[in-house]
Amino acid sequence: MKRRLLFLFVLLAPAVVSAQEPGFDRFLADFDYDTRADMKTDSKKLIKLLVEKKAVLVDIRFPEETRAWRMGFGLFIPLNELPKRYAELPKDKIIVTACPHKDRSAIAMAYLRTKGYNARYLTDGLTGLAENLRGDTAADFMEELGLLPAGKQ
Mean pLDDT by 10 residues, the chain (153 residues): 42 42 82 93 95 96 92 93 97 97 94 95 94 87 82 56
DSSP 119: E
User: Of the CATH numbers 3.30.1370.10, 3.30.465.10, 3.40.250.10, 3.40.50.970, which one belongs to the domain with range 22-144?
Assistant: 3.40.250.10
In this prediction the pTM is: 0.81
CA 15, 83, 36, 50 torsion: positive or negative? positive
Cα–Cα distance list, 128 to 11, 100, 101, 124 (Å): 53, 8, 8, 5
Question: Where are the strands (E) in 81-118, listed by range?
Answer: 94-98
